[in-house]
Copies of this chain bind each other. A is one copy, B any other.
Amino acid sequence: MIKKTLKVNGITRTVIAASDESLANVLRGQMGLTGTKVGCGQGQCGCCNVILDEKLVRSCVTQMAKVPDGASVVTIEGVGTPDSLHPLQLAWIVHGGSQCGFCSPGFIVSSKALLAENPNPTRDEVRDWFQVHRNACRCTGYKQLVDAVMDGARVMRGEMKAEDLMFKIPEDGKIWGTGYPRPTAVAKVTGTLDYGADLGLKMPPETLHLALVQAKVSHAKIKSIDTSAAEAMPGVFKVVTGKDIKGKNRITGLITFASNLGDGWDRPILCDEKIHQYGDAMAIVCAESEGQARAAAEKVKVEIEELPAYMSAPAAMAEDAMEIHPGTPNIYYIQKIAKGGDTRPVFEKADVVVEDDFFVGRQPHMPMEPDVGCAYLDDEGRLYIHSKSIGLGLHAAMIAPGLGVDVGKLVMVQNPAGGTFGYKFSPTMEALVGAACLATGRPVFLRYDYHQQMTYTGKRSPFFVNMRFAADKAGKLLAMETDWSVDHGPYSEFGDLLTLRGAQFMGAGYDIPCIRGEGRTVCTNHAWGSAFRAYGSPQSEFSSEVLMDELAEKLGLDPLELRYKNVYRAGSTTPTGQTPEVLTLPGLLDALRPKYQAAKAKAQAASTDQVKRGVGISIGIYGCGIDGPDASAVRIELNPDNGVTMYNTWEDHGQGADMGTLGTTHQALRPLGLTPDRIRLVMNDTSLAPNSGPSGGSRQQVVTGRAIQAACELLMAAMRKGDGTYRTYDEMKAENIPTGYDGKWTVPATMCDENGQGAPFAVYMYGVFMAEVAVELATGKASVEKMTLVADIGKVNNRLVTDGQLYGGMAQGIGLALTEDFEDIQKHSTLMGAGFPYAKQIPDHMELIYVETPRPEGPFGAAGVGELPLTSPHAAIINAIHNACGVRITRLPALPEKILAGLKQ
């Protein structure tokens, strides 16, 4: 131990700490300053930035021994407070700098340090600073953060007044379509929003801290688990194994399709018979502190018999491969697609045929906040589980039987989440904390470190695709044939649904009369497949969008004009045979065309012998909803003060569920003339709010948005008097009129049949991406210099939210195209190892062009937004690389060595 006196945010504090403890842990765990966040814990994300003696440091890798006695420390709490925001915090709010908000304290502290050194930086100097100091953001795409620093600096230099920077509600009182800041923004920029790990530090003293005993191999039989040495370690209360779990000890995948050969009960809560993937949990040590739990976890002895590990779909599909789940074939689901007439004769007669193989890999989500959760029993015996779940109702159903808990006695709560991007569509630790709580009777808390986040949460499932187009000379698509194998890892949850996405989105955007194909879901021993933004489309549309460029090349046509010829028009149908709800794609291409031509000219002019530049485009499409008659429920109540409370479970990845709810509710209640602050939100606690369904598939703005609209209309109808004015709360009560209303809505859509035909979504999002890239010939290094997206997501609820979604999604597309991977479990288990894109990897030049075609089924004409920007931006980039240097990458990521190899051919 060492004793130091520190001046923390101007306040003198005596600190006693282990000399090898991190400054971050001391600030957070000991001093209660949870505004400083710990993301990666490895100095790679900057969430933990603080200013130590005037210098920016990453506090997670700053040992207390290195902190000078008497040093001054400035944390986000010392930058500004909710009542007294620093100009940078204000700028962060008005520029939408905080989406999930987990990186905001670190970025703002970092920016403060920058401006102390350089009060008038250029945009590039800001980006350089963030790059050098490894400030990582996974939500925004960075542009808004640079905008915020520039404006914050202007205010600090006295060139702009803080009041002028603030958002002002328009005179008509309407916030729909504006940049009204999200309700959680102030808390996010001031570090006062408690994420899961912050709540963990604020748990009751009875709380047990958990550590997992995890597999270090990918496939094995478990022969024995000996917990005795661990149970003798200091502070250990109990070591929980599968034997302690009262229920089935399995998480059910809620099999969607009858033709699935599995039963969905393949994922153990705690592995008892077999290890199916690296990281699989076999026991939970419950101790008084995290340190004690982790130390004891090392002492649990697991005897195993290692088995051959099948680390890809082809390996697991091999003839001699054993069944990973004995009794269920490794290929456990097949999805066919058959649209129109047989494709064989079409291909035989077609003027042109192009064919290629494509591979989009195991993209890791890399949220800034590693997975985290807690559980406890309330005074009525209900089991509460808090997590980052974006599917509260879904997860309750998936884990209750495994835990042996009546689902009515299970309450799911979402903590503010520091980014999920879909990985939390799967349960991760929910059942683990639930099991530990039930086995000990005490509150429990579990926090993953970043290695655990990377290795023991789901990943995007790789697709191995073969695709063929048949076209006529003029470029009109005549037929498509597809074959795709989905490496879904060992656990089946939603694997069938994902495979269906191949049928739905390969060739999406184009009117293709005949389609035949087959996809299959394959069980492997690599990381289990979970949802990831744009779920299935980045694999599907990458294939068809790159193949379209191959077709254009073969035909000598411009890729944009080839697409223009084939996109949905009157009479077109989607690959599933559905008539598009709006016909916007020609317009989007028309809007892009002049920019595209200018970009091409510019690229050509700017190409040199060293650096070649090129332009690529792609079409992106995704549905809003879970397939078919997806439903949502919300509740509204008129309050005694004549404001309202909206209850829902519109879970928040960080995308802005709060703003989505507020904007929609406010718009729906416009006749009442309420200001936004009169609308209270109670969200994401299943004991308090109805089931609005999961936040996946860009469904919430549409499906829950319509439920909100319905609830508001019921309330207003009840309040409306004969003269068109509205009753007050007191008048409602006096007349005995109910003040609370449930709003429900079900999507008018149908499930796809065994041939992949149906009308699974009532609303789609449409976009055209354009990438401008540079390729360094000597190294093969490609970089994106500009991204443009012409997007039709219907009417926009909130511009800060949609901008943030579109910029951020494209940034993830750049990562997917160029660097991101999770193939090598060790090498790819850190942010930097997995190719996380920092500020300088994402261009400052990103342009959004909105085309707002109102959606007939969308609330106030809105569609969703979240998935669109990651449907196919990577395809545009890959097409641009080909355009620049003639190298066509079909297996992502397009690492420099691959491009270089192509250049050398």
Chain A residues within CB distance 8 Å of chain B: 1-3, 10-19, 21, 29-34, 81-84, 187, 192, 194, 199, 201-206, 234-235, 237, 288-292, 374, 376-379, 384, 386, 413, 415, 443, 685
Contact = CB atoms under 8 A, between A and B. Distances in A.
Given A18-B204, A288-B289, A11 B187 contact: yes
B11 A192 contact: yes
Given A16-B374, A29-B205, A32-B32, 6 more contacts: A13-B202, A18-B206, A19-B379, A30-B202, A30-B203, A30-B204
Contact of A205 (B2, B83, B290): B290
Nearest to A374: B16
Total copies of the chain:
2
Given A32-B31, A384-B3, A206 B15 contact: no
A205 B14 contact: no
B204 A16 contact: yes
Contacts of A15: 202
Contacts of A374: 16
Most chain-B CB neighbours within 10 Å: which of A30, A84, A685? Answer: A30
A81 B192 CA distance: 16
A646 to B, nearest CB: 14
Contact of A13 (B3, B11, B81, B194): B194
Given A81-B81, A83-B10, A291 B205 contact: yes
Contacts of A10: 82-83
A623 to B, nearest CB: 34
Nearest to A17: B204
11 contacts: A2-B378, A3-B685, A10-B82, A11-B187, A14-B194, A17-B204, A30-B203, A31-B32, A205-B291, A235-B237, A288-B292
A441 to B, nearest CB: 11
A514 B286 CA distance: 76
B237 A204 contact: no
Contacts of A84: 84
Contacts of A234: 237
B3 A413 contact: yes
Nearest to A234: B237
Most chain-B CB neighbours within 10 Å: which of A34, A378, A415? Answer: A378
A640 to B, nearest CB: 13
A16 B203 contact: yes
Contacts of A18: 204, 206
Contacts of A685: 3
Nearest to A15: B202
B199 A14 contact: yes
A237 to B, nearest CB: 6
Given A1-B384, A3-B378, A206-B18, A82 B11 contact: yes
Given A32-B31, A234-B237, A206 B291 contact: yes
A33 B33 CA distance: 10
Contacts of A235: 235, 237, 288
A17 B378 CA distance: 9
B237 A16 contact: no
A734 B885 CA distance: 66
B202 A31 contact: yes
A580 to B, nearest CB: 42
Nearest to A379: B19
A234 B206 CA distance: 10
Contacts of A13: 194, 202
Contacts of A2: 378-379
A286 to B, nearest CB: 11
A18 B443 CA distance: 10
Given A237-B234, A237-B235, A12 B204 contact: no
A545 to B, nearest CB: 43
A81 B205 CA distance: 28
Contacts of A290: 205
Contacts of A288: 235, 288-289, 292
A515 to B, nearest CB: 49
Contacts of A378: 1-3
A204 B443 contact: no
A84 B78 CA distance: 12
Given A11-B187, A288-B235, A32 B192 contact: no
A771 to B, nearest CB: 41
B12 A187 contact: yes
A289 B11 contact: no
Most chain-B CB neighbours within 10 Å: which of A12, A199, A234, A289? Answer: A234
Most chain-B CB neighbours within 10 Å: which of A32, A83, A413? Answer: A32
Contact of A204 (B1, B82, B415): B1
Contacts of A29: 205
A205 B28 CA distance: 12
Contacts of A14: 194, 199, 413, 415
Nearest to A384: B3
Nearest to A416: B14
Contacts of A202: 13, 15-16, 30-32
Nearest to A183: B12
Contacts of A289: 205-206, 288
Most chain-B CB neighbours within 10 Å: which of A1, A386, A415, A443? Answer: A1
Contacts of A30: 202-205
A9 to B, nearest CB: 9
A761 B384 CA distance: 68
Nearest to A31: B202
Contacts of A17: 204
Nearest to A65: B379
A205 B447 CA distance: 15
Nearest to A18: B204
B187 A16 contact: no
A413 B685 CA distance: 47
A178 B234 CA distance: 56
A33 B32 CA distance: 8
Contacts of A83: 10
A253 B20 CA distance: 39
Nearest to A207: B16
A252 B203 CA distance: 43
Nearest to A184: B12
A192 B31 CA distance: 11
A62 to B, nearest CB: 16
Most chain-B CB neighbours within 10 Å: which of A33, A202, A384? Answer: A202
Nearest to A34: B32
A34 B32 CA distance: 9
A875 B703 CA distance: 82
A203 B13 CA distance: 12
Contacts of A376: 1, 16
A377 B1 contact: yes
A194 B204 CA distance: 21
A81 B415 CA distance: 29
10 smallest beta-carbon distances between A and B, as pairs:
A32-B32, A288-B288, A1-B376, A30-B202, A11-B192, A205-B289, A235-B288, A17-B204, A1-B378, A19-B379
Nearest to A235: B288
A85 B15 CA distance: 25
A234 B441 CA distance: 13
A378 B1 CA distance: 4
A716 B870 CA distance: 71
A518 to B, nearest CB: 48
Contacts of A33: 32
B291 A16 contact: no
Nearest to A192: B11
A105 to B, nearest CB: 14
B205 A16 contact: no
A233 to B, nearest CB: 11
Nearest to A645: B70
A393 B589 CA distance: 83
Given A29-B205, A192-B11, A291-B205, A443 B16 contact: yes
A398 to B, nearest CB: 22
